[in-house]
């Protein structure tokens, strides 16, 4: 895995903007030191010495970003899907996460999770671990070895959690977090720490205040959950009467965009005031359609978010979601948006394939900088996709083939994967 210079030839597609594909048939894309130098019909003179890999009829698209996934929840995917969020957390999630106090178990299960990510289309990810620091470090090591680029968060929770998973006090939680940041902040090339208060119900005001201080001191990004489920939202109103709305309970402590780059998962039931603040603060929304259906949370008004210029990417939210596949997140996002439109609110249109592809690539990639496109200047994250199992040669345009890919592809179709120009094994 070196930062190579090379050229791929194939059928290239990336998002020109939110609603349009940019496609090129049988063209050359140049990667120079991990950065795209653009797409050409003919190889420009200065790149003629770069090795050329001909991908034939295959598609070349940007890598996917999974903006929200829980690594420790990988082992129990599919279980307890007859519950809503709070019951599901207590019944399945917290007991499973408690197991990561055991480093042997953590290495075994995190190994399975990372292998699955390697095989799939994800090139970047924002990952929740658990409260346990040794296990979180194991996950960071494994992610680093994978070559994928990620943020990994040690989870903070000092209230409303079972004794076996609750940190002793706000002070202990924050000081442990500081130690973890000191140990891991500069340690890896591809793997960075991210502050991860689980959600408002799990964190006292004092812990949030201390995390806000750590954010300022270390300039770290933040990830959490927001307005996912009706009971959760009512609970936050009781727990934080001073907050104007749920998101304000993060903003009060400097954990909601503005300076820090922040991802809030779900935003299914965000009020207008909350949406306005997210927009003002540049908060990223991780839309997790499968999780929102499995936990019967609802369906976020994603088309509205995109139209209003919110920053939106896709998340698998394993184990609320049953799969790490961003192919599935894309097709389910479209399908969920249609049911929402038909059954709930005909003023918010369904998502198109183009919009959904945008979220999976550029929308989420933006959290990592110039990522998620193959345009000149973007980091070279790319997938080579073999759609020969269902494509009818000569019948469809490149754009139509990408539309079909959203529904028909899975990780078996990925022939090569590049992360910032490095070829990773799949």
- Give the one residue of 124, 198, 328, 417 binding ligand GUN; rule: CB under 6 A: 198
Scan residues 211-230 and list those touching ligand GUN (CB under 6 A). 225, 228
Q: Which one of ligand GUN, Fe ion, none is in contact with 93 (Cβ closer than 5 to 8 A by kind)?
A: ligand GUN
Contacts of 309 (CB under 8 A, 6+ apart): 279
Which two structure tokens, joined as six digits, stand for 206? 């004092």
Per CB under 6 A, which region of 35-43, 85-93, 245-253, 307-315 contacts ligand GUN? 85-93
- Site stretch for Fe ion (CB under 5 A), options 198-206, 246-254, 312-320, 360-368: 312-320
**Of the listed pieces 52-60, 212-220, 241-249, 309-317, which binds Fe ion according to CB under 5 A?**
309-317
317 touches ligand GUN (CB under 6 A): yes
Angle at 283 between CA 195 and CA 267, to 5 degrees: 95
Residue nearest to ligand GUN (CB): 320
DSSP string, 77-100: TTTTTTS-HHHHIIIIIHHHHHGG
Q: Which stretch binds Fe ion (CB under 5 A): 96-104, 151-159, 310-318, 334-342?
A: 310-318
Return the half-sphere exposure (C-beta side, CA atoms, 13 A cut-off) of residue 177: 35
316 near ligand GUN, judged by CB under 6 A: no
Q: Does 317 bind Fe ion (CB under 5 A)?
A: yes
**85 touching ligand GUN, by CB under 6 A:** yes
Which CB atom, from 139 or from 371, has the smaller least distance to ligand GUN? 139
**Sheet order of strands, 382-385 included:** 35-40, 20-32, 6-17, 52-62, 382-385, 414-419, 422-424
Interface region with Fe ion, contact rule CB under 5 A, candidates 158-166, 197-205, 258-266, 413-421: 258-266
How far apart are CB 196 and Fe ion at their closest, in Å?
A: 10
> Is residue 349 classed exposed, middle or buried when 0-12, 13-18 and 19+ CB atoms within 10 A define those classes?
middle
Backbone angle region of 74, left / alpha / beta, with phi > 0 → left and psi within -120 to 50 → alpha: alpha
Rounded distance between C-alpha atoms, residue 147 and residue 145, angstroms: 5
Lookup: tokens for 113 = 């999770």
Q: Give the Cα separation of 89 and 165 in Å (integer).
A: 12
Interaction between residue 320 and ligand GUN (CB under 6 A): yes
Nearest Cα to Cα of residue 297 among 269, 317, 278: 269
Residue 197 binding: pick among Fe ion, ligand GUN, none (C-beta 5-8 Å cut-off by kind): none
333 contact partners, CB below 8 Å, separation of at least 6: 287, 289, 302, 314, 351, 356, 359
Is there binding between residue 262 and ligand GUN (CB under 6 A)? no
* Nearest approach, Cβ of residue 68 and Fe ion (Å): 6
Among the listed residues 416, 419, 426, 421, the one whose alpha carbon sits nearest the alpha carbon of residue 55: 416
**Residue 91-120 contact track with ligand GUN, rule CB under 6 A, x = bound:** --x---------------------------
Which is closer to ligand GUN, CB of 141 or CB of 317?
Answer: 317
In terms of CB distance, is 228 or 366 closer to ligand GUN? 228
Parallel/antiparallel/unpaired status of strands 414-419 and 422-424: antiparallel
| DSSP 8-state class, residue 379 | B
Residue 85 binds which entry of ligand GUN, Fe ion, none, with Cβ cut-offs from 5 to 8 Å by kind? ligand GUN
Would you state the structure tokens that stand for residue 31, as one six-digit string?
């990667």
Q: How far is the CB of 167 from ligand GUN (least distance, A)?
A: 15
Residues 133 and 174 sit within 8 Å (Cβ to Cβ): no
Positions in 175-214 near Fe ion (CB under 5 A) = none
Q: Which of residues 50-79 bind ligand GUN (CB under 6 A)?
A: 70
> How far is Cα 302 from Cα 73, in angstroms, rounded to an integer?
25
Nearer to ligand GUN, 233 or 371 (CB): 233
Alpha-carbon distance of 32 to 27, in angstroms, equals 16
Determine the size of the site formed for ligand GUN (CB under 6 A).
11
Count of residues touching Fe ion (by CB under 5 A)? 2
162 with 86: CB under 8 angstroms?
A: no
Binding site for ligand GUN (CB under 6 A): 70, 85, 89, 93, 198-199, 225, 228, 291, 317, 320
């Amino acid at each position: 895995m070196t930062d190579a210079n090379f050229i791929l030839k194939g059928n290239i597609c990336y998002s020109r903007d939110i609603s349009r594909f940019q496609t090129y048939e049988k063209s050359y894309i140049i990667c120079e030191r991990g950065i795209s130098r653009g797409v050409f019909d003919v190889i420009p003179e200065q790149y003629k010495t770069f090795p050329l890999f001909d991908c034939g009829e295959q598609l070349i698209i940007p890598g996917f970003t999974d903006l929200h996934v829980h690594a420790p929840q990988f082992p129990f995917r599919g279980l307890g899907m007859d519950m809503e969020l709070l019951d599901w957390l207590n019944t399945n999630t917290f007991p499973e996460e408690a197991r990561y106090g055991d480093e042997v178990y953590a290495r075994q299960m995190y190994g399975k999770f990372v292998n699955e990510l390697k095989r799939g289309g994800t090139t970047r990810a924002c990952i929740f671990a658990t409260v346990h620091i040794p296990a979180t470090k194991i996950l960071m090591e494994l992610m680093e070895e994978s070559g994928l680029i990620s943020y990994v968060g040690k989870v903070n929770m000092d209230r409303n959690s079972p004794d076996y998973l609750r940190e002793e006090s706000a002070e202990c939680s924050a000081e442990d977090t500081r130690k973890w940041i000191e140990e891991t902040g500069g340690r890896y090339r591809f793997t960075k720490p991210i502050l991860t208060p689980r959600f408002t119900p799990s964190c006292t005001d004092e812990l949030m205040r201390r995390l806000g201080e750590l954010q300022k001191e270390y300039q770290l990004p933040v990830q959490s959950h927001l307005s996912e489920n009706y009971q959760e939202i009512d609970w936050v109103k009781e727990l934080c009467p001073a907050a104007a709305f749920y998101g304000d309970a993060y903003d009060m402590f400097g954990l909601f965009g503005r300076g820090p780059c922040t991802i809030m998962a779900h935003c299914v039931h965000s009020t207008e005031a909350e949406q306005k603040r997210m927009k003002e603060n540049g908060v990223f929304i991780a839309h997790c359609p499968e999780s929102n259906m499995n936990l019967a949370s609802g369906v976020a008004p994603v088309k509205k978010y995109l139209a209003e210029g919110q920053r939106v990417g896709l998340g698998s939210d394993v184990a609320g979601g049953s799969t790490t596949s961003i192919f599935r997140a894309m097709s389910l996002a479209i399908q969920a948006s249609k049911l929402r439109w038909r059954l709930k609110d005909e003023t918010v249109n369904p998502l198109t394939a183009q919009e959904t592809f945008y979220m999976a690539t550029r929308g989420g990639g933006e959290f990592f900088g110039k990522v998620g496109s193959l345009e000149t200047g973007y980091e070279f994250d790319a997938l080579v996709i073999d759609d020969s199992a269902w494509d009818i040669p000569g019948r469809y345009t490149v754009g139509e083939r990408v539309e079909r890919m959203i529904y028909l592809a899975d990780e078996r179709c990925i022939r090569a994967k590049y992360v910032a120009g490095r070829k990773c094994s799949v």
